[in-house]
Amino acid sequence: MSNFSVAFRNADAATILSVCGELDAHTAPELESAIKKCRDEGKINLIINGHDLDYISSAGLGVFMAFIEEIRTLGGDIKICALKSKIFDVFDLLGFPKIYHIVETEEEALSLFERGIQPIQGD
Amino acid sequence: MGQVSITYTLVVPSETRQLAQVRNFVTKHARQANVAEEHIDALRLAIDEACANVIEHAYQGNPEKEVHLAMTIEPTRIIVRIRDHGCPFDRTAYRRPDVRELSRKRKSGGLGVDIIRRLMDKVEYHNQEGTNEIRFVRFRQSRQDGFR
């Protein structure tokens, strides 16, 4: 049985993917499928809500790397919110905050889309 | 705590679904030995990354194979050894990954070894007579770098 799940919710400005459990090399394909599903349905403004995410390894981080370029080319973005501090530490360890909007609340992430804030382009 | 050194071992089939069991094993024994949570978080992640690399790269997803893990908890440090009999890791081809570059190339892999190197104080690779072993050490002093 998988110890990971994704739930979808639509807001006006974005689709919210609430991730729950442990994201590792075994469960990362589930997040990959979820993002692909959104993309195929034309939903390209995506918020990953990590409030209930208890663990992430490089396989989980890899899902974001695999899709961000394509989603941004289509005019959307993936924004990440509500991470527990130990999960944020893993993103931070590898420099993800320089490339991805990682904010504290879902409201903040929605606001970035509502205000048309451009994705972080980096250096 | 005393001066004792305790080694815990685990053998799991080479399948990604075993990674949760590996992490639970690390957490359980490290907590029992009063290892600080910041070190447990770092060890759990580094061991997960090393085992995932064995499963996906050394054994290329063959579930008939086994991954051998030994974690030794000493008063001042934790030593981890992960052993396999698959394809050896090519250290000469390794270079530190850049997340921006990987994202541009739409790559999903390539971060695991970097995570291990960032979190552990010492990392060594050994290859002898078809057995590969990654050994790494995390010292138990408090630290500002790596995980808070």
What DSSP string runs through B4-43?
--EEEEEEEES-GGGHHHHHHHHHHHHHHTT--HHHHHHH
Mean pLDDT of chain B: 92
The mean pLDDT value for B19-38 works out to 97
Residue B121, token pair as written in the block:
């104080």
Number of folded domains that form chain B: 1
In a domain, B145, yes or no: no
Inspect the interface and report whether the beta carbons of A22 and B20 lie closer than 8 Å. yes
A61: DSSP letter: H
pLDDT per residue as tens digits for the range B89-108: 887 888 889 999 999 999 88
Q: What share of chain A is helix, strand, coil (3-state, %, to 5)?
A: 40, 30, 30
pLDDT per residue as tens digits for the range A49-79: 999 999 999 999 999 999 999 999 999 999 9
> Is residue B24 within 8 angstroms of chain A, CB to CB?
no
pLDDT per residue as tens digits for the range B53-68: 999 999 998 999 999 9
Domain enclosing residue B127, as ranges: 6-139
Nearest by CB: A25 against B19, B114, B147:
B19
> Is residue A71 within 8 angstroms of chain B, CB to CB?
no
Asked if pLDDT for residue B3 goes beyond 80, the answer is: no
Q: Name which of A30, A58, A91 to mutate to probe chain B: the one with the most chain B Cβ atoms within 10 A of its Cβ.
A: A58
Instruction: Lay out the sheet containing B66-73: strands in order across.
Output: B6-13, B66-73, B77-84, B131-139, B122-128
In a domain, B147, yes or no: no
Inspect the interface and report whether the beta carbons of B109 and A63 lie closer than 8 Å. no
Q: Which domains does chain A have, with CATH numbers?
A: 4-114 (3.30.750.24)
In a domain, B24, yes or no: yes
Asked if pLDDT for residue B148 goes beyond 60, the answer is: no
